[in-house]
């Protein structure tokens, strides 16, 4: 492999022409022979550079509506021929195939066409065949050929050519080849995902990661792969951190459970306060009352518009992030007084239906827990039945508790989370924590409802709940000792309901 190659010829076939001028004019100044097709050839001519049509090289016009232009030995032979292999050079001479030193391609915008909502016929036409073949051929032969695989590399290659008198080094060509296969892989991944959405293979591809300040801790490097701008407009504040993003995800999963005015306060992905209100201001006051201490420095999210009255109520609290459907100008004038406070206007909802986690040199994939409790799933196990008000709390509490880390207990009253036990190694400890938190905040547990994310292995939990004044208990059921729990609740006038659904969250 030759370290330096001077570019004497180039094949150019691109979709996006913005930014191409510099590299074209550089090639013109070098006296390089330029081959091209269609619209790209016209563009090059308009810049005053001489261009040779690929159709003249191959002896065939562009056919099938442009589907076949560069797929020909006269093109690929000049790209794939090895300069130091005698037999390759003899064949080039025999068939009068010119060597091509540089290939510049920018593929049809398949991903963008899918995102635009175009019909299938239009999407299929944006599957690039000739371009991807040119990219792969040039990248394979990086020992002798350089490839520019997308618009993102126009400027860099032009700068190298200018600085190096029209030459590119082996290291540069190899780096471009690696980038080319990255472009090819990304492109094919999105085609695969479109054509085979139910495939049992795991393929994920995102370009241009956002570099985060750090990971969960300052000594951990972190990146975000994706496009947050499709979900949020950031109206104020510092860049989002790794922990911010994790908490925002948890907050919005909870918010999306509700259609009524709802506010959530999140700390380390756990809801520490949340409530339905008559309006967002009422919901905010109730959510904050659930745990005003933990709300300090938390992530806040709601499902409506933040107005001036709500902003005034919230402004004095230190919080990291507030996510809302919108903000009135008056609210923004108040909330943006704190320059580091992150305000996110929500544009769209997360469309992912699965959760992916890396571990043990592999990946776990599972469906998101989107199951909602249905009326016909409520099985009363005692003669004491739930009132209408208690049923409302049951539905509310079930939605909230499934977003608490296991072992988890939620205590709710009047559509407000008043106590929670999260991440405990035993269910009784989770219940003890939830009761203590509720009492510490001054809530009366009489008339409250207890929700457990999994079954009670023993009757000790309902005994503790009864002693605290809780009369309604909701759990999946399924313990070998369920009868002990049922008997205690029946004998003490408690309402016990089994749902048949566990909601572990780790």
Structure confidence by residue, pLDDT tens digits, 307-352:
999 999 999 999 999 999 999 999 999 999 999 999 999 998 888 8
The arrangement of strands across the sheet holding 472-475 comes to 379-380, 495-498, 472-475, 449-452, 409-412, 417-421
Pairing type for strands 354-359 and 362-367 reads: antiparallel
Give the residues of the chain that fall short of pLDDT 50: none
Q: Is the dihedral of CA 254, 256, 259, 261 positive or negative?
A: positive
**Which of 257, 299, 294 lies closest to 272, judged by CA?**
294
CA neighbours within 13 Å on the CB side: how many for 207?
Answer: 14
Q: Compute, in degrees rounded to 10, the torsion defined by CA atoms 51, 52, 54, 55.
A: 130
Residue 147's SS3 state is: strand
Return the H-helix or E-strand segment holding 381. Answer: none
What pLDDT sits at residue 502? 94
Cis geometry, peptide bond prior to residue 493 (ω within 30 degrees of 0) = no
DSSP secondary structure code for residue 68 in this structure: B
**Residue 459 — φ and ψ, nearest 5°?**
-80, -5
What pLDDT sits at residue 1? 60
Record the pTM: 0.83
Distances in Å between the Cα of 457 and the Cα atoms of 24, 359, 477, 485 are 74, 30, 9, 9
pLDDT in tens, 83-99: 889 998 998 999 899 99
What pLDDT sits at residue 262? 97
pLDDT in tens, 456-498: 999 999 999 999 999 999 999 999 999 999 999 999 999 999 9
Pairing type for strands 417-421 and 409-412 reads: antiparallel
Residues involved in catalysis:
140, 268
With tokens 């810049």, the residue in question is 47
What pLDDT sits at residue 66? 78
């Amino acid at each position: 492999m030759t370290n330096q190659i001077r570019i004497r010829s180039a094949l150019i076939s691109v979709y996006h022409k913005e930014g191409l001028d510099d590299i074209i004019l550089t090639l013109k100044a070098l006296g390089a022979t330029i081959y091209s097709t269609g619209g790209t050839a016209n563009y090059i001519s308009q810049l005053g550079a001489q261009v040779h049509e690929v159709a003249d090289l191959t002896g065939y016009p562009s056919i099938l509506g442009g589907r076949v232009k560069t797929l020909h030995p006269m093109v690929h032979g000049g790209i794939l021929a090895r300069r130091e292999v005698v037999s390759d050079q003899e064949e080039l001479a025999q068939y009068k195939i010119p060597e091509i030193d540089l290939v510049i391609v920018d593929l049809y915008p398949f991903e963008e066409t899918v995102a635009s909502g175009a019909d299938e016929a239009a999407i299929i036409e944006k599957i690039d065949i000739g371009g991807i073949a040119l990219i792969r051929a040039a990248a394979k032969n990086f020992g002798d050929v350089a490839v520019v695989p997308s618009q993102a590399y126009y400027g860099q290659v032009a700068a190298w050519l200018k600085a190096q008198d029209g030459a590119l080094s082996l290291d540069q060509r190899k780096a471009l080849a690696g980038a080319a296969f990255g472009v090819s892989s990304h492109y094919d991944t999105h085609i695969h995902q479109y054509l085979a959405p139910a495939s049992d293979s795991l393929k994920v591809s995102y370009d241009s990661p956002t570099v985060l300040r750090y990971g969960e801790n300052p000594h951990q490097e972190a990146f975000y792969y994706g496009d947050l701008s499709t979900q949020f407009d950031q109206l104020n504040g510092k860049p989002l951190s790794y922990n911010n993003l994790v908490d925002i995800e948890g907050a919005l999963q909870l918010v999306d459970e509700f259609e009524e005015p709802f506010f959530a306060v999140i700390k380390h992905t756990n809801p520490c306060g949340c409530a339905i209100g008559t309006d967002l201001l009422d919901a905010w006051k109730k959510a904050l009352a659930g745990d005003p201490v933990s709300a300090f420095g938390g992530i806040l999210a709601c499902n409506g518009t933040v107005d001036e009255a709500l902003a005034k109520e919230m402004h004095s609290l230190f919080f990291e992030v507030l996510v809302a459907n919108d903000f009135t100008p008056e609210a923004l004038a108040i909330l943006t007084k704190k320059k580091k406070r992150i305000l996110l206007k929500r544009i769209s909802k997360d469309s992912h239906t699965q959760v992916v986690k890396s571990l043990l040199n592999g990946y776990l994939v599972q469906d998101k827990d989107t199951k909602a409790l249905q009326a016909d799933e409520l099985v009363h196990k005692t003669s004491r039945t739930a009132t209408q008000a208690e049923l409302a709390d049951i539905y509310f509490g079930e939605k909230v508790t499934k977003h608490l880390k296991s072992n988890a207990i939620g205590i709710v009253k009047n559509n407000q989370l008043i106590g929670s036990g999260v991440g405990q190694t035993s269910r009784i400890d989770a219940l003890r924590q939830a009761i203590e938190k509720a009492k510490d905040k001054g809530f009366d547990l009489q008339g409250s409802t207890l929700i457990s994310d999994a079954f009670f292995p023993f009757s000790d939990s309902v005994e503790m709940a009864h002693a605290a004044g809780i009369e309604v208990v909701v759990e999946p059921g399924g313990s070998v000792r369920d009868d002990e729990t049922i008997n205690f609740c029946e004998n003490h006038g408690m309402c016990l309901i089994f749902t048949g659904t566990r909601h572990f969250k780790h």
